Each structure stands twice: as C-alpha cells, then as structure tokens.
Copies of this chain bind each other. A is one copy, B any other.
Amino acid sequence: MYVIGERINGMFTDAKEAIRQKDAKVIQDLAKRQMEAGASALDVNVGPAVPDAKDAMLWLVETIRAVTDAPLAIDTAKWDVMSAVIPKVPGEKILNSTKADPETAQQYVALAAQNGAGLIGLTLDADGVPGNAEKRVELGAQLITIALEGGLEMDKLFIDPVILPVNVAPKNPGHCMEAISQLRAFADPPPHLVLGLSNVSQLCNNRGLINRTYLAMAMAHGLDAAILDPMDTELMNTGITAGLLQEKMIYCDSYLEAARYGKKG
C-alpha cells in the first residue's frame, strides 16, 4: 500500500495557520509524524484563499525537504502553480492531479515526463465526475494511452477514479471498485490505482469506520495507493492487514510493526 499522507493541506486548521504564518516547525512536525506512521509520500496542498499559491507551495516544499526526502505530491488544480513549482522540487515528486481531457492530460504528462515525476490522473473530464463505472474505465483507459504515448511509464501513473461521499452518491463506492478492478486489468504492468479516501465519508457519522471499511474493500479490488491520514492508526492497521490478506507480506506476530518499519527502512 502506497500511502500518500494527506495532512499537509490548508483545508486543515493547523496546516492553514502554519502556512499563513510560515511556521516551519508545525509543517515539519506534520511531515515527520506522517512518515513515522508509515507514509510512503506526502501530499502538499496550500489550501484555498492563499494570496500567492506559488510562493506558498515553494515555501512548503523547501520546509518539508529539510526533514524528509519522501516523494512530494504537489496538489494543485492550477496549471501555472504546477508548471512553476514542479521543476523546483528536489528529489521525487508527483503531480496531483490532471483531469482526463486529452489536451489537459497531454500537458500534464509532458510536464511529469520532463521532470521524472509521477502523475495522478482523475477519471473526470469537462462533463464532471462520471455517474457509472463504464465512463470511469473509459477515461482511465484514455489516461493510460496518453501516458504511454507521452513517455510516462505505468509505475509513474496513478489513476484516481474519484470517490464521492456515500451519503450523497450511494452507488459511487461500487462504481469506483468496479473501475479499479477493470483498470488493473487494462494494462500490463498496470498503473497504480489511488483514491482520495476520506472523501467517501465527508459529512457522515462514523467517518473512521467508513474510511477503513472502504479501504479494505477497494484494496480487495486492486487499489494499491491512497491519499489518507497515516496518523489514523486504525486505518493504517486496516491497510496493512488487507495487504497481509492479499499475501503482500507474510504473517508474523508483529506484522503491523514490521510493515511500518519496512516503510521507514
């Protein structure tokens, strides 16, 4: 399970304040704690309503890079921010994210390929989030084709079938699982399949329970990456255990600790 830690995001109050005040310690603590909890990479999102998003993103990257060389997922919907920041990120990086419209996707694939970066591609286009599994598969296949044509290897491509909250889109979790299964089989080797997991439980009760139950279900269909909070211990334990039950590791009495140690080692 490739865990992209979600906590350095201006949507969260602690990160928002730290970005506003350029408080490096808070950001670096969030980076270190997520890595210690078993993250493989860190999402970096300045949040909405930041006066200079490019400047804020560059400050975050520099601040985080001082404490970890983990891959950084530069999370912005703005092309000018993405295209300015990506060449300046030292070490491993991921573009988060592109839509599947051909012209847009080609632009992002080119930027990722030029910079040796990964790319998260959403299965949505100008028409919005698909209301079924079939359109997700079609858009995912389109992303795979554009990535291969643009010189981006499958191990650098993360397809995100876009999960919506179960309380407003009850068929959506099923559609995403179906799309994950089919897209895993579409290319050999397959791309990564990723979800912004916590969106499934937005404004629901029992958020932790819904998140970890869906993580296990989506992994059973081939999800191999997720943007989530690695400091949610029960969630991480579920992800590690789902991997055990798919023979991604062999059981030992301390398999939970072994999995976390493996991520750090």
Binding site for B on A (CB under 8 A): 166-167, 170-171, 173-174, 177, 200, 204-206, 209-210, 213-214, 216-221, 237-238, 241-242, 244-247, 250-251, 253-256
**Which B residues are CB-close (under 8 A) to A216?**
213-214, 216-217, 220
Q: How far is the CB of A200 from chain B (nearest CB, A)?
A: 8
Q: A217-B219, A237-B209, A246-B173 are in contact. Are A204 and B167 (CB under 8 A)?
A: no
Q: Which 4 A-B pairs have the closest CB atoms?
A: A217-B220, A216-B216, A167-B251, A220-B220
Q: How far is the CA of A238 from the CA of B215 in the complex (A)?
A: 12
What are 29 A-B contacts defined by CB distance under 8 Å? A166-B244, A166-B245, A167-B251, A170-B244, A170-B247, A170-B250, A170-B251, A173-B247, A174-B245, A174-B247, A177-B220, A200-B245, A204-B251, A205-B253, A205-B255, A206-B237, A206-B255, A210-B241, A210-B244, A213-B238, A213-B242, A213-B245, A214-B216, A216-B216, A217-B217, A217-B220, A217-B242, A218-B220, A220-B220
Does the CB pair B209–A238 fall under 8 Å?
yes
- Partner of A247 from the list B171, B205, B217, B242 (CB cut-off 8 Å) is B171
Does the CB pair B177–A241 fall under 8 Å?
no
**Which B residues are CB-close (under 8 A) to A220?**
177, 216-218, 220-221
Q: How far is the CA of A245 from the CA of B166 in the complex (A)?
A: 7
Does the CB pair B177–A256 fall under 8 Å?
no
Q: How far is the CB of A156 from chain B (nearest CB, A)?
A: 27
Q: A174-B245, A245-B213, A246-B173 are in contact. Are A256 and B219 (CB under 8 A)?
A: no
Q: How far is the CB of A223 from chain B (nearest CB, A)?
A: 10
